Chains A and B, each alone.
Chain A
Amino acid sequence: MTVMEPNAPVTDAELATADSADTDTVDTTVHMEPATGPRSDPSAPAAASVAPETPLTADDMSPANGHIAAETTDEITPIPIPRPVPFPQPMPFPLPYRMASGRYRSRPIGYQLELRVDIDGTRPLRRLSGDYYSISESAVTYFGSWTVDAVTVRTSRSHVTVVGTARTTWPTTFTIATVTIPRAHLGRPAPAATLQWSTPSGAKGARYQCMWESTSFRTVELEEDCESGVAPFRSYDTRSLPSGGAARTLSVAGAFAEAGVQMLDTGGGNVVNTPSGYLWTNASLHHAMQAHFSRWQERPQYKVWLLHARAHEYGVGLRGIMFDQQGLQRQGCASFYQAISSGSAQNQRERLYVNVHELGHCFNLFHSFHKSYMNPPLPNRPGALSWMNYPQNYNPGGGAPSGTAAFWAAFGFEFDTLELAHLRHGFRNAVIMGGNPFGTGAALEVGEEFLDRVSDTSGLRLSIAPADPRPLLGMPIVLNITLTAERTQQVHRRDQLHPKYGFVHLAVSRPRGDVIVYQPPVQHCADPALVSSGHDDVLPISAYIGYDAVVGQLFDDPGTYRIRASYAAPDGTMLVSDTATLRVVAPRTSSDDQVADLLLRDQAGMALTLLGSDSPYLADGTNALETVVAEHGEHPAAVFARLALGTNAARPFAEVDATGAVRMRERDLTRADELLGAAVDASRGDSGLDDLTVYETLGYLASSHDAEGDTDRARELRHDAATLAESKHAPTSVLRSLQE
Chain B
Amino acid sequence: MSRSDAGSGSAGHAAEPGPGALVVELAEGFAGDDVTVLIDGEQMWHRNGVSTNYSVGIADVVRLPMPTKAWPTVEVQVGRRAATRRVDVGETARAADGEGVDVGAEAGSEAPRELRLRARIDPAGTLSLGVASEETRY
Q: Give chain A's interface residues, CB within 8 Å of chain B.
A: 282, 313-323, 325, 333, 353-354, 357-358, 361, 366-367, 370, 372-373, 377, 390, 392-393, 403-404, 438-439, 517, 519, 549-550
Contacts and interface: CB of A to CB of B under 8 A. Distances in A.
B53 interface: yes
Contacts of B2: 392-393, 403
Nearest to A439: B54
A316 B138 CA distance: 11
B123 A372 contact: yes
A361 B123 contact: no
A347 B37 CA distance: 37
A279 to B, nearest CB: 11
A318 B123 contact: no
B134 A282 contact: no
Contacts of B5: 392
9 contacts: A314-B137, A318-B137, A320-B56, A325-B51, A333-B55, A353-B138, A367-B57, A392-B4, A404-B4
B98 interface: no
B29 interface: yes
A317 B135 contact: yes
Contacts of A367: 54, 57
Interface SS of chain A:
loop
Given A282-B53, A333-B55, A519-B124, A390 B138 contact: yes
Given A313-B61, A317-B134, A550-B124, A322 B29 contact: no
Contacts of B119: none
Nearest to A354: B138
A-B residue pairs, 4 tightest by C-beta: A322-B55, A361-B55, A317-B134, A550-B124
Interface in B41-68: 51-58, 61
B138 A319 contact: yes
Given A372-B123, A377-B123, A315 B53 contact: no
B134 A373 contact: no
A549 B125 CA distance: 10
Contacts of A361: 55
Contact of B134 (A315, A325, A439): A315
B28 interface: yes
What is the interface residue range for chain B against chain A?
Answer: 20 to 34
Contact of A370 (B54, B61, B134): B54
Contacts of A377: 123
Contacts of B52: 373
A392 B137 CA distance: 10
A373 B61 contact: no
Interface in B1-48: 2, 4-5, 28-29
B123 A517 contact: yes
Interface of B: 2, 4-5, 28-29, 51-58, 61, 123-125, 134-138
Contacts of B56: 314, 318, 320-321
B54 A390 contact: no
B61 A315 contact: yes
B62 to A, nearest CB: 12
A366 B123 contact: no
B4 A550 contact: no
User: Which among B28, B57, B125, B137 has the highest number of chain A CB atoms within 10 Å?
Assistant: B137
User: Which among B2, B29, B51 has the highest number of chain A CB atoms within 10 Å?
Assistant: B2
B8 to A, nearest CB: 16
A319 B123 contact: no
User: Which among A358, A392, A393 has the highest number of chain B CB atoms within 10 Å?
Assistant: A392
B137 A319 contact: yes
Contact of B138 (A320, A325, A404, A549): A320
User: Which among A314, A372, A393 has the highest number of chain B CB atoms within 10 Å?
Assistant: A314
Nearest to B31: A373
A319 B138 CA distance: 5
Given A321-B53, A321-B55, A519-B123, A358 B138 contact: yes
Contacts of B123: 372-373, 377, 517, 519, 550
B80 to A, nearest CB: 16
A370 B57 contact: yes
Given A519-B124, A550-B125, A373 B58 contact: no
A373 B29 contact: yes
A392 B4 CA distance: 7
Contacts of B55: 321-323, 325, 333, 358, 361, 438
A373 B138 contact: no
A321 B57 CA distance: 10
Nearest to A516: B123
Contacts of B4: 392, 403-404
A213 to B, nearest CB: 31
B6 to A, nearest CB: 11
A353 B4 CA distance: 20
A84 B114 CA distance: 86
Nearest to A387: B138
A251 B37 CA distance: 43
A390 B136 contact: yes
Nearest to B29: A373
Contacts of B51: 325
Contacts of A358: 55, 138
Contacts of B125: 550
Nearest to A404: B4
Nearest to B63: A313
B54 A392 contact: no
B30 to A, nearest CB: 10
